[in-house]
């Protein structure tokens, strides 16, 4: 890490994205990513979710090279371009994932409760969590939710169109990265096992494609390589859904990248930053699911290289 708590806004006519991280490397500033307002706390490896009101919740993570884990959370208001504190979670966690439920609450899942600031790390001394927490913006409070079936640090999570939440991949605190997935049903308040991905992935990212409702899972780390491959999950293919291969990234493998955001008016997916095994990345990639070519293209570079940032789409 380095520098102060920073953020960047992706200024795009179809709706921008805000990326936040403190793991940075110097890069040439470009006008397409103007600086955003700094967060109140340094953090890397946190989770982010958009509330129904349009504000962005950022929770957890760590600073100081994985030494100081955080239970803190803060809210970004796009209308005022300011950050404000919100109550802390019940558990300090680095590398969790988050998704917004249909009733407006935010589900935060898994993560690490000690050390391990990056998805490539999987030491047995860093316990992976199966616990979950729910943030209710109406009462501005946290409560514990039902535990997942599997312990997961650095998983991918996304809310499906039918209201369920898909959680996929991560690592379990051993040397093993996970192919497994599970589904949370808010109506039942319970988890069920989902189908395995074709590739084990820790530190991957996920987004729902607006045209089809499929989930695109991107990149990650399989224990040997930072992946350029992607997978698509079709929740309607069977009761539990089905996975299939997606298009490879165009700039190389990346893990710990920002959670992929869907630009509101175009439906394009943007993936920003991450780590390729050598350096924190400033590069971004764009994917248009409606294009026949079905390929990724290089997007505008960010101002700074960022590993383990988070990203969320702002109102247009």
Q: How far apart are CA 187 and CA 214, in angstroms?
A: 21
Determine, yes or no, domain membership for 274: yes
Q: How far apart are CA 162 and CA 151, in angstroms?
A: 25
Determine, yes or no, domain membership for 164: yes
Tokens standing for residue 105? 């609450």
Tell me the pTM.
Answer: 0.85
Least confident of 16-25, 97-106, 126-135, 257-266: 16-25
> For position 159, which CATH number holds?
2.120.10.80
Q: What is the pLDDT of residues 217-242, one digit of tens each?
A: 999 999 999 999 999 999 999 888 99
Structurally, the chain folds into a number of domains equal to 1
pLDDT at 180: 98
Determine, yes or no, domain membership for 87: yes
Find out whether 204 and 222 touch, Cβ atoms under 8 Å.
no
Determine, yes or no, domain membership for 1: no
Q: What is the pLDDT of residues 53-87, one digit of tens each?
A: 999 999 999 876 555 789 999 999 999 999 999 99
Tokens standing for residue 312? 């969320």
pLDDT at 21: 44
The closest of 28, 22, 202, 188 to 120, measured between CA atoms, is 202
State the residue range of the domain holding 266: 6-313
Determine, yes or no, domain membership for 52: yes
Mean pLDDT of 289-316: 83
């Amino acid at each position: 890490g380095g520098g102060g708590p920073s953020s960047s806004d992706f200024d795009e006519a179809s709706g921008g994205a805000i990326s936040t991280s403190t793991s940075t490397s110097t890069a040439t500033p470009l006008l397409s990513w103007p600086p955003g307002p700094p967060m109140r706390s340094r953090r890397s490896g946190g989770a982010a979710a958009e509330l129904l009101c349009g504000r962005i919740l950022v929770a957890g993570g760590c600073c100081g090279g994985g030494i100081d884990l955080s239970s803190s959370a803060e809210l970004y208001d796009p209308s005022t371009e300011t950050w404000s504190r919100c109550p802390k979670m019940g558990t300090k966690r680095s590398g969790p994932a988050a998704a917004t439920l249909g009733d407006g609450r935010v589900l935060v899942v898994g993560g690490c409760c000690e050390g391990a600031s990056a998805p490539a790390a999987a030491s047995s001394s860093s316990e992976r969590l199966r616990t979950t927490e729910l943030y209710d913006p109406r009462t501005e409070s946290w409560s514990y939710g039902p535990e997942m079936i599997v312990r997961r640090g650095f998983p991918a999570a996304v809310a499906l169109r039918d209201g369920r939440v898909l959680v996929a991949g991560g690592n379990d605190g051993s040397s093993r990265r996970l192919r497994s997935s599970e589904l949370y049903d808010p109506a039942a308040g319970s988890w069920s096992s989902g189908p395995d991905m074709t590739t084990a992935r820790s530190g991957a990212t996920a987004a729902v494609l607006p045209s089809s409702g499929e989930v695109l899972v991107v990149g990650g780390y399989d224990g040997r390589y930072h992946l350029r491959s992607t997978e698509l999950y079709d929740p309607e293919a069977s009761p539990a859904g089905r996975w299939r291969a997606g298009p490879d990234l165009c700039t190389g493998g990346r893990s710990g990248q920002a959670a992929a955001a869907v630009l509101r008016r175009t439906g394009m997916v943007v993936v920003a930053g991450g780590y390729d095994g050598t350096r924190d990345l400033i590069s971004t990639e764009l994917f248009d699911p409606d294009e026949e070519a079905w390929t990724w293209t290089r997007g505008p570079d960010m101002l700074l290289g960022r590993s383990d940032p988070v990203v969320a789409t702002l109102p247009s």
